[in-house]
């Protein structure tokens, strides 16, 4: 049986605004190594918040248990006590084991597309010219390599961002609606390329999506975030697709 890359128990994140309080409450979440998972749900339910927590980009939360074990060769990191603070330890985990694709590129504008792709490889000491060349070919961005992000179309920028997230060989790829800015035809094409690429390499994929049909077509495990409003507070929790079906 595959081990778990993430094990969460009783995680709570709170965000206060002038009008209300938002609470993300995760009683239990296990994500296995090599699993492909999509968080779905309405806007404002905490999907992006959850993936930012899993990518160690967001603090101000607590958990009874938060274990991260990205691959069989790495020690299990119990980071429950480190979640509410920014630390070099979490930054190293993010650098070494996680590739992140934001909604719109997130590329460094002063670097060429190729330099953007190479950057995490150089930071981690995992530069593999052949691997980068293969990624560029599969994602069909060979003509973009010498250009800077401002010279690329939105679709090209997203493909470059995907290549950058995968190039240094991370164990976990996290993507926050990576095709949301694309038209439906290009979104479907880029998403299939992305998912096929991650699946072929045996990586763990965690993404946010609004497109349930695409998620089901690509055979990705679907986890829904369900918000409930009460007395000035919105509490969002997770529900698995099979739990939803059991009540039908």
Confidence band (pLDDT; 50, 70, 90) for 241?
low
State the CATH number of the domain containing residue 242: 3.40.50.300
Quick count: other Cβ atoms within 10 Å of Cβ 54? 23
Q: Name the one residue in this structure whose structure tokens are 């529900």.
A: 239
On whether residue 156 sits in a domain, the answer given is: yes
Question: 120 lies in a domain?
Answer: yes
- The one-character DSSP state at 19 is S
In-domain check, residue 85: no
Q: Give the DSSP H/E element, type plus range, for residue 198.
A: helix 184-200
Q: Is residue 41 part of a domain?
A: yes
The pLDDT tens digits for 27-54 are 999 999 999 999 999 998 999 999 999 9
Range of the domain at 203: 35-57+97-246
Strand partners, 224: 40, 239
Name the one residue in this structure whose structure tokens are 């998620």: 215
CA–CA distance, 221 with 44 (Å, rounded to integer):
21
Beta carbons of 37 and 91 less than 8 angstroms apart: no
- Per DSSP, 152 falls in state S
Residue 123 lies in a domain: yes
**Residue with the larger pLDDT of the pair 211 and 241:** 211
What single DSSP character describes residue 145? T
Please check the confidence at residue 1 and state whether its pLDDT lies above 60.
Answer: no
Share of residues in the chain with pLDDT > 90 (%): 70
Average pLDDT over residues 222-244: 85
Structural tokens at position 228: 């409930």
pLDDT tens-digit readout, 166-210? 999 999 999 999 988 888 888 999 999 999 999 999 999 999 998
DSSP 80: G
Evaluate whether residue 144 is within a structural domain.
yes
Number of domains forming the structure of the chain:
1
């Amino acid at each position: 049986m595959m081990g778990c890359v993430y094990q969460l128990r009783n995680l709570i994140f709170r965000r206060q605004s002038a009008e209300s309080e938002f609470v993300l409450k995760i009683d239990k979440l296990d994500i296995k190594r090599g699993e492909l998972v999509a968080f779905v749900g309405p806007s404002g339910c905490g999907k992006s918040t959850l993936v930012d927590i899993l990518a160690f980009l967001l603090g101000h939360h607590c958990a009874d248990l938060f274990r991260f074990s990205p691959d069989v060769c790495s020690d299990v990191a119990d980071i429950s006590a480190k979640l509410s603070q920014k630390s070099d330890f979490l930054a190293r985990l993010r650098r070494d084991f996680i590739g992140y694709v934001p909604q719109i590129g997130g590329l460094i504008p002063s670097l060429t597309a190729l330099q953007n792709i190479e950057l995490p490889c150089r930071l981690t000491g995992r530069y593999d010219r052949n691997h980068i060349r293969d990624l560029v070919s599969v994602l069909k961005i060979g003509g973009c390599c010498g250009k800077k992000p401002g010279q690329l179309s939105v679709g090209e920028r997203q493909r470059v961002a995907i290549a950058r997230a995968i190039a240094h060989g991370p164990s976990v790829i996290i993507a926050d609606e990576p095709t949301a800015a694309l038209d439906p035809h290009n979104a479907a094409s880029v998403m299939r390329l992305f998912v096929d690429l991650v699946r072929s390499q045996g990586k763990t994929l965690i993404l946010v999506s609004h497109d349930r049909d695409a998620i089901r077509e690509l055979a990705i495990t679907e986890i829904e975030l369900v918000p409930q409003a009460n007395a000035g507070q919105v509490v969002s929790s997770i529900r698995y697709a099979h739990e939803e079906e059991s009540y039908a």
